Amino acid sequence: MSFSSFFSHVQESPWYGAFLSPVLDQITHGSKVLDVGTATGKLIQMLVREKSTDCTGVDIDESMLKEARRKLDGVPSTLKQIDTQADFPFQDECFDHVCICNVLFNLDMKNRDRLLSKCHRVLKRNGKIVVLSPTGMGKLSILASRFVMRGNKTIGLWYLLTRKNARSWSTGNYLEDYCKSRQLTYARTVVFDGLGLVETLEKK
């Protein structure tokens, strides 16, 4: 099994939909959304179905996008491969929301800043960047109770693989500090029984 097929399998586990779900609460019905690091397209699938959004997904990994095209067959959306070094192929201020789920906490400082500045550029005024990350914390009893649910065996693996970077991200103030020097308003909410963190950056 390739890594993209494996990741698609993870994204289809019931727990993963529940983990992504708080992001949808931040998204306005019918809005124009960019999903950065979309991988195999699970968030786009949920956004189109539940929020009737106009979605574009970008990723640096073509094998992930190939899997996303297969999964999103019939779901109206656009997928593009991008280069980390190049700017986004989109005009200034053309998206209402930019989602960055489970990407930033794994990047080094230089790549975080580069990615955030591209997201900021394409975000409309009064638009919102929504960042979801694991916390690497939360109650193990909750993790265990979700783990025993049918089809949820990957949650333990995900927790172990992300824990170190996730703890460092969730206990730091990276995005809050990033917002201070720019025209952005910051907010954070702990979600998914303490296992996830949603951070929002609103453009004034």
Ligand X SMILES: C[S@@+](CC[C@H](N)C(=O)[O-])C[C@H]1O[C@@H](n2cnc3c(N)ncnc32)[C@H](O)[C@@H]1O
Q: Which two tokens stand for residue 112?
A: 């975080």
Site for ligand X (CB under 6 A): which residue of 98, 115, 122, 195? 115
Q: Considering the rule CB under 6 A, would residue 84 count as an interface residue with ligand X?
A: yes
Q: Which two tokens stand for residue 179?
A: 């917002």
Size, binding site for ligand X by CB under 6 A: 19
Bridge partners of 203, per DSSP, are 184
Provide, rounded to whole angstroms, the least separation between the CB of residue 107 and ligand X: 6
Q: Which two tokens stand for residue 164?
A: 């170190």
Give the x-and-dash track for 34-63 against ligand X (CB under 6 A).
Answer: --xxxx--xx--------------xxxx--
Provide, rounded to whole angstroms, the least separation between the CB of residue 80 and ligand X: 10
- What is the largest distance, in Å, between two alpha-carbon atoms of the chain? 46
Q: Which of 109, 97, 48 is nearest to 75 (CA)?
A: 48
**Of 32-40, 90-98, 137-145, 175-183: span binding ligand X (CB under 6 A):** 32-40
Instruction: Return the ∠ at Cα 77 (arms to 73 and 82), rounded to 5°.
Output: 105
What stretches of 12-99 show up as alpha helix (H) in DSSP? Answer: 14-24, 42-51, 62-71
Site for ligand X (CB under 6 A): which residue of 77, 102, 133, 135? 102
Give the x-and-dash track for 2-31 against ligand X (CB under 6 A).
Answer: ---------x--------------------
Bridge partners of 197, per DSSP, are 133, 190
Interface residues with ligand X (CB under 6 A) are: 11, 36-39, 42-43, 58-61, 64, 82, 84, 101-103, 111, 115
